[in-house]
Amino acid sequence: MHRSISRSLSRSLPFPSRRRRRAAGAAACLLALATLTACGQEQRPASGPAADAARAGAPVAATGATAPAFRELEREFDARLGVYAVDTGTGRSVAYRADQRFAYASTFKALAAGAVLRKHAESGKDGGDGMEKVVTYGRDDIVENSPVTEDFVETGMTLSGLCAATLWYSDNTAANLLLDELGGPDGLERVLEELGDDVTEMDRLEPDLSEGRPGDVRDTSTPRAMAGSLRAFLLGDALERDDRALLRTWMETNRTGGTLVRAGVPDGWTVADKSGSAGYGGRNDIAVLWPEDGGNPVVLAVLTSRDKQNAERRDALVARAATAAISALGR
């Protein structure tokens, strides 16, 4: 399994020759990381572990006791906050506005990468290109916030490279190309429905999907639904073991989430997350968290929004909401 992950990481980004030395150093670090990480309305939860816990009548943390902490955060940051966290060992959960809709923004990229891995797993085994399929695109396809794909217009990128660019740097063009591979936003929505998520609405491409206009249900989801879908990919059986480990590695080594959930969990915990930024002050993070003591992981989704179109996004709100959720779970 380690060799498979290392090969995928080493080929993830087709760096041109002028960057080879810098890329080699980055690849060495990533290979080391790969080795370490590899060893509004009530909605039904996603299939897999989340659904199993719900059907088993798993105990739910007293949301009423934690709600004041979340309400105080909303007042302090002048924002709307949605939180859903579940301890996969005990089934205990914390929910606050967990079934209200928020613009998911770039958090969807974790689900898109998972869906592409799911689609191409069998292709690689059968002698096809699998995740090494090269996707070509033109200069006209480049949209804002595309720091990786803008450098490879002449050569194209592998699906593995597009996933890495999407999850490490939140590259918007890479995300759009992954959606194209799935048949557009509707294609990803169909995959999520297969996994039991009939809540998430996938409608547009980047950057339009991150508009976040209040009251617009396009490109929205709920904290509960996002947590359930992420759980299916990273902890459930939506992916085979090696693909699940690769997705986890990409998410653990991303460059965009350091001030969000990662800043709010106890020292020593391992975090695989995907951040997102929406209009109207939206700042989000979805994550799976592994405690330092080796206990069962926690799945967490924190979604936020504000009323004004150009409102400041507050990373500290997400970090402190994560701290409150983990504390409420007794972890």
* Residue 143: exposure state from Cβ atoms within 10 A (0-12, 13-18, ≥19): middle
Helix axes 108-125, 185-194, angle to 10 degrees: 80
d(CA 232, CA 275): 18
- Are 314 and 289 in contact by the 8 Å Cβ rule? The answer is no
- Candidate list 8, 12, 47, 106, residue with the active-site label: 106
Whether 206 sits among the annotated catalytic residues: the reply is yes
Q: Which residues pair with 270 in a beta bridge?
A: 290
d(CA 233, CA 197): 12
Residue found by looking up tokens 């799935």 in the block: 182
- Are 277 and 105 in contact by the 8 Å Cβ rule? The answer is yes
User: Which of 320, 329, 328, 323 has its CA nearest to residue 295?
Assistant: 329
Whether 123 sits among the annotated catalytic residues: the reply is no
CA angle 27, 32, 37 (to 5 degrees): 120
- Candidate list 206, 221, 229, 305, residue with the active-site label: 206
User: Which of 185, 271, 303, 236 has its CA nearest to residue 45?
Assistant: 236
- Catalytically annotated residues: 106, 206
